[in-house]
Amino acid sequence: MWDLVIVGAGPVGLAAAIEAKRANLKAVVLEKGTIVNTLYRWPKETVFFSEAKNIEIGGHPFPSLYPKPTRREALQYYRRVAENEELDIRIYTEVIGIHPDRGHFRVDYRDRDGEGTLQSRFVLVATGYYDNPNRLGVPGEELPHVRYGLDETLPYWKQHVVVIGGSNSAVEAALELYRAGAKVRVVHHAAEIRPRVKYWLKPDFENRVKEGAIGLLLNTRVLEITPREVVVLEKGEGAGAVRRLQADFVLVHIGYKAVDELLRRVGVEFQGDAPLLSETYETSIRGLFVAGSAGFGSDTRTVFIENGREHALKAVGEMADRIKAASLTSTPLSQV
């Protein structure tokens, strides 16, 4: 019997595992991909918005050569922390079900050898949101030239690329594509690019738009994507005008929503698109906790590594207190 099964080996899941170890809890981390799989899948040239000290976990210093750490540095840092802490992390192991079972949980998983089950007193879900991008809901968005996110820019050289969105990732992608030789247009539904775009990106982007290097269409709704075009409806002046934009590739950057399938299947109560959580990030099912953006539905812009790691510490602290109280009073854990 495990004390804690953690679902997800991102920075928040790792922070929970470290806290569990220091509280003498027997914990295991199950991850369907590799360690910090989300960061691994980020664009290779990503630079964090946070300073290195704000995304440290377990008190391990995060050395960086730059004012803001890079994706490459983060991958090395979190891997080394996991190694130094000797955390029990089982990668390429996907959790496929969580089942309350007489005061504990049965956690079903699938790995390269087949399916299996673990028994645990507590479960903490830290699955994030990167696997669940928001969809446009228009014909053609499943075509092979439509991408959700930007990895490398070379494939887009001399190509007509339409970027849909108006936040950090859309602006950053447009700038990188422009500098890589792509012909870029940005389509956004609102009257302006989001004001909170990173302060070093926004003026750069606005200047490229002013000089005509990047096209920008505001107050515009996407109607359809075809193999060679994006069909849009302009909602501002001249409302009702339909335009057809040449598009060899389409990059959709309209945000994400937390991965919540496991929570919904087990019967967690939701308020809107987010689970109901206690002050210690426990769901409506006793013993089942959530940490990081996994607990906040579509509100992904306010939950980051720096506050998600605090969720993990508070949740694991609550688990440790209950186990201690149960052992001191000989009371069943389910009644503590």
Report the CATH number that the domain containing residue 40 is assigned in CATH.
3.50.50.60
pLDDT score at 331? 73
Same domain? 76 vs 9: yes
Does 137 map to a domain? no
Same domain? 298 vs 205: no
Between CA 235 and CA 243, with CA 239 as vertex, the angle to 5 degrees is 80
* Beta strand 104-111 pairing with 220-225: unpaired
What are the Cα distances from residue 7, in Å, to 146, 174, 178, 297? 30, 34, 38, 17
pLDDT score at 198? 80
Task: For residue 217, list its beta bridge partners.
Answer: 187
Same domain? 267 vs 125: yes
With a pLDDT cut of 90, the percent of the chain lying above it is: 75
DSSP code of 151?
S
Answer yes or no: are the C-beta atoms of 115 and 96 closer than 8 Å: yes
Instruction: Evaluate if residue 12 carries a pLDDT over 60.
Output: yes
Same domain? 122 vs 262: yes
pLDDT score at 48? 85
Same domain? 39 vs 58: yes
φ and ψ at residue 55, rounded to 5 degrees: -120, 15
Does 141 map to a domain? no
Instruction: Evaluate if residue 49 carries a pLDDT over 90.
Output: no
Does 140 map to a domain? no
For residue 282, the SS3 value is strand
Same domain? 264 vs 248: no
Name, in order, each residue with C-beta under 8 angstroms of 217's C-beta and a sequence gap of 6 or more.
185, 186, 187, 188, 232, 234, 243, 245
Does 136 map to a domain? no
Q: How far apart are CA 136 and CA 245, in angstroms?
A: 17
Same domain? 286 vs 201: no
Same domain? 246 vs 266: no
**Residue 99 CB neighbours (<10 A):** 14
Same domain? 225 vs 280: no
Does 320 map to a domain? yes
Domain containing 264 equals 2-131+256-335
Does 97 map to a domain? yes
Same domain? 198 vs 305: no
Domain end marker among 225, 252, 279: 252
With a pLDDT cut of 70, the percent of the chain lying above it is: 98
Does 306 map to a domain? yes
Answer yes or no: are the C-beta atoms of 301 and 253 closer than 8 Å: no
Q: Identify the sign of the CA torsion 294, 300, 304, 305.
A: positive
Domain end marker among 252, 271, 294: 252
Number of domains forming the structure of the chain: 2
Helices 305-329, 11-22: crossing angle, 10 deg rounding:
30
Greatest mean pLDDT among 129-133, 190-194, 317-321, 322-326: 317-321
Same domain? 262 vs 320: yes
**What value does the mean pLDDT of the chain take?**
92
pLDDT score at 236? 65
Question: Per-residue confidence at 149, pLDDT binned at 50, 70, 90?
Answer: confident
Does 118 map to a domain? yes
Instruction: Evaluate if residue 94 carries a pLDDT over 60.
Output: yes
Residue with tokens 């399938």: 261
Same domain? 224 vs 155: yes
Domain end marker among 227, 252, 277: 252
